[in-house]
Structure 1
Amino acid sequence: MDNQDKRSRLTSLRAKLELARCEVDDAPSQSNAVRRRWNGALSPCPALIAGCDSTVQVVSALRAASEENMPISVYSGGRDWEGRSLRDGTVVLDISTMTSIDIDVEKREAVIGGGVTAGQLNEAAGAKKLVAVIGNDGSVGMAGLLLGGGYGPLMGRLGLACDNLLSAEVVLADGSVVTCDAKHEPDLFWALRGGGGNFGIVTSARVRLHKLDEIFAGNIVFAWTDARSALTQYANLMLHAPADLFGAAVMSVGPGGDPIVVISLVWTGESGKGETFVAQAVEAGNPILVKTGPMPTDELLFLTHGKLAQGRGYEVATRWFRDLVPRTLETLVEGFEQRSSPLSSIILHHCHGAATQVAPDETAFGSREPHFTAFIYSTWDLATVDASIHCEWAKHLGTALVPGALPGGYANLLSDTAANQISDAYGPNALRLAQIKTYYDPKRILNAIPLPIVPAGDTHTG
């Protein structure tokens, strides 16, 4: 498409759209897309941003883009580090203002708009003395969390975020609108729970809420001299952890500029028993800070909330592990010591309990066996002259971890170029996902988190 043809199509497209918010981005350096980006290392240049405040407007914008043969992206929470919600040259359907939250206290359910963030839902549920299954950062969009799987501090007790999705209103690639659940459009409902936003645009979702009055949680902070012993103790603790215990280990730089290891624990079980696990973690060395205690559930976002700030540069790698064996821990420690930026971090957590008691084929999520996940966040200030060294650090460490890793990885954070991991990220569900994609979106209009490539003949649905 040459520039004249593009301008002609955009003019025609804008004439068809009756939207209060409709932005054309001609100058990437000053564009509204750049202001929306989470990863500051990107300079997105979509053709047009269509602000959609309702399902009707989403349908209108999608159909208009299709008529003009313009590709689309969907922007809800906007936390995709690869910028797939603001792809170059696309018509961006921005649903971030669709933030309604309707809570039914008796049913313990919430109907949320497609633009609701984890923090907004957490606050609304907390006001009703209920809790939602969310991640660790309030700025993350619930749509992306639900559709990609959704690790979080309650997964041992209450399952992944996707396990708490009850139904969804979805705008399909052809512009039709359906509501899917276990009985209606069951294949679509299955694919949405772990397969990402590749099958339709979720404009609202009904999610399960829970009663959980108080938790016991907090952080145990170790100096870097205790890093190996702290991480070893963490790994042993989590391998035998009950479902009510969530634990994460974070390698980062403390307020004084020195590297530290933080073990974060969340106990959702019987009152008085959480202290036992804190005591076990403390045995790893001489912690420089132990800050734990009873905590209201609306403070669950303490782990990473606000620490992965919008606008910095990011490169992310992720790996799954059955166990954190000494060789893997040594690779992580040495890798962190070689970090290219003081802003970078590595986060480990363990998936067990309720999240692993769901049958592998019940949802599209790729791994239901107990496993550790490593999240490698290479993070840097945009004033950095050469960003490539920061990108290379995350990629190199991700590769160095392969010998001890399981196949695949958390699809929500995989790069489009991580072909080897993508092929295994959905486990035995890859073929069925490809078939459902072919059925609901044969022209591949919707492209969110990466899907595995399946031979064309295998995607025939009959």
Structure 2
Amino acid sequence: MDTRLLPVTTELARRLGHHRVLVEGAPFDDAIRIWNHGVGHRPAGVARCATPDDVSAAVTVAGAHGLPLSVRGGGHDWAGRSIRDGGLVVSLSDMRSVHVDPERRVAVVGGGATSADVIAATSPYGLVAATGTAGGVGMAGLTLGGGYGPLSGVHGLALDNLLAADVVLADGTQVRADPEHDADLLWALRGGGGNFGVVTSLHVRLHPLESILTGFVLFSWRQAGSVWAGLRELLAEAPDELTVQSGVFSGPDGSPVMLLSPAWAGEPETGRQWTARLEGLGDVLMSQVDVMPYATALTLVEAQMVDGSHYTIRTRTVADFTPEVVAALVEAGDTRTSPFSGTPIHHFHGAATRVAPDATAFANRDAHFVVEIVAGWRPDDADPERHVAWTDSVSAALAPVASPGGYVNLLGPDAGAQIDEAYGANASRLMELKRRYDPSGVFSATPLPEAVHR
């Protein structure tokens, strides 16, 4: 351990307990391991926090000693911003409790809880939260940046269901942001990311749902263009209950296939009719769509991920599957450099579009699709740069037909022009609130416009 850290670790150990301050060894390595194994950041230490008071102590001590910090919730940010190289990681991995009030239909969710944790706690009451598509993703990080998911059409984004948040600010102060107290902070947290403090708990609106009709429909890659063209027409008349993810994925032999993943949050028989229409868009290679618990639905995407892989991601937002967009997506599949790479595309429509653009920091409320350009490769790959180049080429091909900005939960720290446009007309208010709540720039969990940092 660097002896310069001794005053920090000594003070943290006194306030949190020795077992909660990690600087080396197997527990330290476990604490800094995240989803993207390609991130090689090495922090100076980890403070494993169990309570908001622990978080306050960690933030205060780091500030007093000039040690930069980051906050680790679910550990799913592909760019690894939760692991501050040379800094202190404020880990919330021991703060995963979920308390459900079934009568009020509200869950209080610990800052380290995953989406799967939330649904496991709410399902016994026949309730669910609006989550993303994967159970292993941290609920806080997902929600603070946006939160596209299977229920976006009927219940909006995850951030649209954030009722309040308990936050530790940069000076260690603990506040609750809700419509009556620190309403400006709540506005900023709904889409502005974890840039204003450490969110130790979320107060989340719940919805009645026993099960969901979902799964996968696969088509041969040669039909991708026509399937996307047909999907464009179908989704133009689809109800809120139907949200459809699409994209290029890998078939059993590793070759590209066209995938549709419908999620129907309504009466199952009607959903099966829509599934049949989706299957009619081409010659189906395989269709596995059925009614299942929401918790099971959150495991489907993760089953496609290979543990230990390295990843890089780019993103573009498009208004529709126009011929130009489809051509770029087909080219992406044709030139894909790895069977671990793909383009999952998120569907934004329905209830999510009926929120005013200035009601939350998340500004883009027009119907759209978010294209994830995901390159994955094994650690022993001899030429990882070819996969990175593929993501850059797909992003560049989509740029002329894409909307300004992009989804902040997917934008990397180098996506300067997209970051500057991501918040649209809300950027100036977000800048003002950043200066008010975090004037020294302690927190940088997700990208903010460059002007915020000046």
Q: Shorter-chain TM-score: which interval?
A: over 0.9
Does the Cα contact within 8 Å between 1:38 and 1:79 map onto a contact in 2?
A: yes
2:88: which partner in 1? 91
Partner of residue 344 from structure 2, selected from 334, 343, 347: 347
Q: Which moved more, 1:252-261 or 1:156-165?
A: 252-261
CA-to-partner distance for each residue in 1:65-109, whole Å, 9 max, x for gaps? Answer: 111111111011010111100010111101111011111111111
CA-to-partner distance for each residue in 1:38-82, whole Å, 9 max, x for gaps? Answer: 211121110111111111111111111111111111011010111
Matched, 1:327 2:329: no
1:6: which partner in 2? 4
Partner of residue 75 from structure 1, selected from 69, 72, 86: 72
1:278: which partner in 2? 275
2:222: which partner in 1? 225
The letter of the residue matching 1:307 is: Q
1:371: which partner in 2? 368
Cα distance in 2 for residues equivalent to 1:323 and 1:131: 29
Cα distance in 1 for residues equivalent to 2:32 and 2:60: 26
The letter of the residue matching 1:173 is: A
Q: 1:309 to 1:59 in 2, by over 3 A?
A: farther
3-state SS of paired residue (1:102): strand
Matched, 1:202 2:202: no
1:23: which partner in 2? 22
Partner of residue 313 from structure 2, selected from 287, 309, 316: 316
Q: 1:123 to 1:362 in 2, by over 3 A?
A: same
CA displacement at 1:324 relative to structure 2 = 1.4
The letter of the residue matching 2:202 is: A
Q: 1:13 to 1:222 in 2, by over 3 A?
A: same
CA displacement at 1:385 relative to structure 2 = 1.8
Q: 1:349 to 1:303 in 2, by over 3 A?
A: farther
1:180: which partner in 2? 177
CA displacement at 1:229 relative to structure 2 = 1.5
1:360: which partner in 2? 357
Cα distance in 2 for residues equivalent to 1:102 and 1:165: 15
1:299: which partner in 2? 296
1:460: which partner in 2? none
Cα distance in 2 for residues equivalent to 1:236 and 1:123: 36
CA displacement at 1:448 relative to structure 2 = 0.6
1:396: which partner in 2? 393
3-state SS of paired residue (1:448): coil
Does the Cα contact within 8 Å between 2:144 and 2:194 map onto a contact in 1?
A: yes
The letter of the residue matching 2:187 is: W
CA displacement at 1:239 relative to structure 2 = 3.0
Q: 1:312 to 1:284 in 2, by over 3 A?
A: same
The letter of the residue matching 2:292 is: M
Does the Cα contact within 8 Å between 1:16 and 1:64 map onto a contact in 2?
A: no
Matched, 1:169 2:172: no
Cα distance in 2 for residues equivalent to 1:83 and 1:455: 21
CA-to-partner distance for each residue in 1:192-233, whole Å, 9 max, x for gaps? Answer: 000000001010111111112333223211111222222222
Q: 1:282 to 1:15 in 2, by over 3 A?
A: closer
CA displacement at 1:340 relative to structure 2 = 1.6
CA displacement at 1:305 relative to structure 2 = 2.5
3-state SS of paired residue (2:449): coil
Cα distance in 1 for residues equivalent to 2:210 and 2:12: 49
Cα distance in 1 for residues equivalent to 2:16 and 2:131: 34
Does the Cα contact within 8 Å between 1:213 and 1:296 map onto a contact in 2?
A: yes
3-state SS of paired residue (1:167): strand
Q: 1:438 to 1:33 in 2, by over 3 A?
A: farther
Does the Cα contact within 8 Å between 2:441 and 2:453 map onto a contact in 1?
A: no
CA displacement at 1:5 relative to structure 2 = 7.2
CA displacement at 1:14 relative to structure 2 = 4.6
1:51: which partner in 2? 48
1:62: which partner in 2? 59
1:436: which partner in 2? 433
3-state SS of paired residue (1:166): strand
1:144: which partner in 2? 141
Does the Cα contact within 8 Å between 1:75 and 1:93 map onto a contact in 2?
A: yes
- Number of residue pairs the alignment of both structures matches: 453
Does the Cα contact within 8 Å between 1:37 and 1:311 map onto a contact in 2?
A: no
CA-to-partner distance for each residue in 1:400-425, whole Å, 9 max, x for gaps? Answer: 11111000110011011101100111
Cα distance in 2 for residues equivalent to 1:15 and 1:276: 60
Q: 1:4 to 1:24 in 2, by over 3 A?
A: closer
CA displacement at 1:12 relative to structure 2 = 4.9
Does the Cα contact within 8 Å between 2:123 and 2:210 map onto a contact in 1?
A: no
Does the Cα contact within 8 Å between 1:317 and 1:395 map onto a contact in 2?
A: yes
CA displacement at 1:33 relative to structure 2 = 6.3
3-state SS of paired residue (1:135): coil
Q: Which moved more, 1:88-97 or 1:387-396?
A: 387-396
Q: Which moved more, 1:374-383 or 1:126-135?
A: 126-135
Q: 1:330 to 1:34 in 2, by over 3 A?
A: farther
Partner of residue 241 from structure 1, selected from 217, 238, 243: 238
3-state SS of paired residue (1:331): helix
Task: In structure 2, list runs of 5 or more residues that go unmatched.
Answer: none
The normalised TM-score by structure 2 is: 0.95
User: Residues 243-258 of structure 1 correspond to what in structure 2 (within 5 A)?
Assistant: 243-258=240-255
3-state SS of paired residue (2:108): strand
CA-to-partner distance for each residue in 1:158-179, whole Å, 9 max, x for gaps? Answer: 1100111111110001100001
1:159: which partner in 2? 156
CA displacement at 1:277 relative to structure 2 = 1.6
Cα distance in 1 for residues equivalent to 2:306 and 2:446: 21
3-state SS of paired residue (1:389): helix
The letter of the residue matching 1:126 is: S
Cα distance in 2 for residues equivalent to 1:11 and 1:112: 29
2:417: which partner in 1? 420
CA-to-partner distance for each residue in 1:276-335, whole Å, 9 max, x for gaps? Answer: 222221222110112223233333315522333453111101111111111211111112
The letter of the residue matching 1:232 is: A
Cα distance in 1 for residues equivalent to 2:27 and 2:263: 42
3-state SS of paired residue (1:265): strand
Q: 1:34 to 1:188 in 2, by over 3 A?
A: closer
1:212: which partner in 2? 209
Q: 1:335 to 1:30 in 2, by over 3 A?
A: farther
